[in-house]
Amino acid sequence: MSYHESVLSKESIDGLDIKPDGIYVDVTFGGGGHSKEILKKLETGRLVAFDQDEDVLKNALKDERFTLVNANFRFLKNFLMYYKALPVDGIIADLGISSHQIDDPDRGFSTRFDSELDLRMDRKGKLDAKDILNDYSSEEISALFFKYGEMQNAKKIANAIVQYRKDKKIHTVPDLKNAIGKYAEKGKENKFYAKVFQALRIEINNEMDSLKDMLLQSKEVLNPGGKLVVISYHSLEDRLVKNFMKAGNFEGIVEKDFYGNEITPFKMITRKPIVPGQDELNRNKRSRSAKLRIAIKN
């Protein structure tokens, strides 16, 4: 099964500053790249990993120090309590979708295949891309393309989808391209469809709310001195992560006490995000939009 090379692997693992007897959490297990590196540095410690995609169960690591939870990371605290793995010394999140998901035509994550539109990370989920494109109103589609795809012509694209589906349901990637292809700027078609698919994927998988839930719980489950390490791939995610690490909330507003001292649950280790170097960009083109941020729990 093809999974992407872990992006910013050395930088993110170094950021965790792993203690041999510590408890760590990889909330986005995928192909297990980060988890394998963490286990190399553990002796008597433990690693708990999360992934809602049942395909990853085939990648589970055979190690008595390792536990794989097949669930969304928004349930972080509950499962850590269940497995008696609290508090933890570090959390790593690699928010990108895996190469396996992109390269599997049945998953509908890529515009490269003439496949059915799906985009569910958890295939037990009820809502998929076809439901949105055929059942959402023009206003609802426009809102999600504007909010999650940051598309300025969201209203025109939404209207085109609603007009197209009057004659033919939108079930496949070619159907969607036929409906909205005229709005893709020549030479920038891939970027256009990437924004469309990003918006659909975020809506289907409730990604922003799940990320918020996980980040808020990280405040509760991390030991003082514990590290929060997050790799994001688009500005919506990165903004949430940056604001949360800076202020402990998603608006980025730092509270102050009576004397004017800042009250924040984290100290940012990375004022500016760490990005892949040229060697990594050459090896792995999917790393090009990655941004790594690291914070330490106060």
pLDDT band with cut points at 50, 70 and 90 for residue 286: confident
* Domain final residue, candidates 189, 205, 221: 205
Report pLDDT digits (tens) over 85-117.
999 999 999 997 765 556 566 665 666 668 899
In terms of domains, do 76 and 110 share one? no
User: If you average pLDDT over residues 65-86, what whole number do you get?
Assistant: 98
User: Residue written as tokens 């909205």?
Assistant: 180
pTM: 0.93
Two tokens, residue 63: 């190690």
Q: CB under 8 Å, gap of 24 or more: what pairs does 173-178 form?
A: 173/108, 173/110, 173/111, 173/113, 173/114, 173/115, 173/117, 174/114, 175/117, 176/117, 176/133, 177/111
pLDDT band with cut points at 50, 70 and 90 for residue 284: confident
* Domain final residue, candidates 152, 174, 205: 205
In terms of domains, do 170 and 225 share one? no
User: If you average pLDDT over residues 51-77, what whole number do you get?
Assistant: 95
pLDDT band with cut points at 50, 70 and 90 for residue 2: very low
At 229, is the secondary structure helix, strand, or coil? strand
Distance CA 151, CA 160 (A): 14
Range of the domain at 154: 105-205
Residue 247 has pLDDT above 60, yes or no: yes
What was the pLDDT predicted at 285? 81
What was the pLDDT predicted at 1? 44
What was the pLDDT predicted at 202? 96
In terms of domains, do 193 and 213 share one? no
Residue 44 has pLDDT above 80, yes or no: yes
Query: Which residues, in sequence order, are CB contacts of 55 under 8 Å at separation 6+?
Result: 1, 100
What was the pLDDT predicted at 103? 58
In terms of domains, do 86 and 166 share one? no
Residue 28 placed within a domain: yes
At 112, is the secondary structure helix, strand, or coil? coil
Distance CA 232, CA 245 (A): 13
* Radius of gyration of the CA atoms of the chain, in A: 20
Two tokens, residue 25: 């959490």
User: If you average pLDDT over residues 152-178, what whole number do you get?
Assistant: 97
Report pLDDT digits (tens) over 188-217.
999 999 999 999 999 999 999 999 999 999
